[in-house]
Amino acid sequence: MKHLLSTQDLSLDEAILVLDTAAQMAATQSREIKKLPTLRGRTVVNLFFEDSTRTRISFETAAKRLSADVINFSAKGSSVSKGESLKDTALTLHAMGADAVVVRHWASGAPHQLAHSGWLGSGDSPVAVLNAGDGTHQHPTQALLDAFTIRRHLVGRAGGATGDGVGRDLKGLRVAIVGDVLHSRVARSNVQLLRTLGADVTLVAPPTLLPVGVETWPCATSYDLDETLAHWAPDAVMMLRVQRERMSGGAGAFFPSPLEYSRRYGLDHRRLAMLPGHTVVMHPGPMNRGLEISAEAADSTRSVIVEQVANGVAVRMAALYLLLAGGSPAEGSAI
């Protein structure tokens, strides 16, 4: 891999390589000294044109755990607010010797433009570009950390087994993704990656929050959450944040009221009790407690939401390692 732009670009072998490498990275994080010398002397730039807390901090933590030098760039308060273009920003970063650029942008396609425009180096020595979320398009490291979490719980620990399910895919598992699919890059990334890994996916949402053309996606769709939980019995339920900031007319433009949305599509005590005993509850965060998920569901023993955050560091360490230090597994290397 030269870049990580979309889960659609990952083959089954590449996806498993990232997950296996993340398992090795996660193992190092239980050591007394968590820092590895692997990327010493390399420079990673976090280029964020959109507000973010957990993703930026997660990438920053991952790069620092690998001993890379980290530069954080926020569009607010920078030359971008004075009208500087994406191209000129990229040329500046390249001139300063960046080895990898982690980019989050409000426009779909911005990371692809950076990776293939030539602004960040020639074809012989390109700067690695990692997509940290672009518009409503893709968020590949979020999907990889979700898959890593699912594999740990439902493959690695199935039947009392130990380990993280290293080397295994997700074939046969059922994942329900519930909520605001229309505005969700997390949903798009997950559908593609989970299908590559062999899982079956059902999207559950009101008709107004499913995108045009969703019937061509490699998944099923449903408007009825109760029916999906009762008859399909998912192994993992992934609740999506209702992205009210992307709804130009306010929440009422896409559903009648928050109360009605919560009653029809929220994960509450009653629906939590409908889930099979092994099913895990997921959310990419930040959560709207009381809207798409109740506090009881978010804090239940089934919830792996906090673990998703921790796994995000290991997955991003793996992505940076594979892009900057080569494509071989981490075991036996300088780690």
Token pair listed for 204? 């559950």
Report d(CA 321, CA 39) in Å as an integer. 7
Q: Would the annotation count 271 as a binding residue?
A: no
What strands lie across the sheet with 236-239, from one edge to the other? 220-222, 200-204, 174-178, 236-239, 280-282
Q: Would the annotation count 65 as a binding residue?
A: no
Report d(CA 192, CA 187) in Å as an integer. 9
Give start and end residues of each alpha helix (H) in the chain: 12-28, 54-65, 86-95, 110-116, 140-151, 185-196, 225-227, 258-265, 269-274, 295-298, 305-325
Which residue is associated with the tokens 């590449």? 14
Which residue is associated with the tokens 């490291």? 141
Q: Would the annotation count 139 as a binding residue?
A: yes
Q: Are 35 and 65 in contact (CB under 8 A)?
A: yes
Q: Would the annotation count 82 as a binding residue?
A: yes
One-letter amino acid of 293 = I
Report d(CA 94, CA 89) in Å as an integer. 9
Which residue is associated with the tokens 């408007």? 223
CB atoms within 10 A of CB 37: 10
Q: Would the annotation count 285 as a binding residue?
A: yes
Report d(CA 26, CA 23) in Å as an integer. 5
What is the set of active-site residues? Answer: 54-55, 82, 104, 139
Entry field: residues in the chain? 335
CB atoms within 10 A of CB 8: 14
Q: Would the annotation count 55 as a binding residue?
A: yes
Q: Would the annotation count 289 as a binding residue?
A: no
Annotated binding site for L-aspartate: 82, 185, 241
Annotated binding site: 54-55, 82, 104, 139, 142, 185, 241, 285-286
Annotated binding site for carbamoyl phosphate: 54-55, 104, 139, 142, 285-286
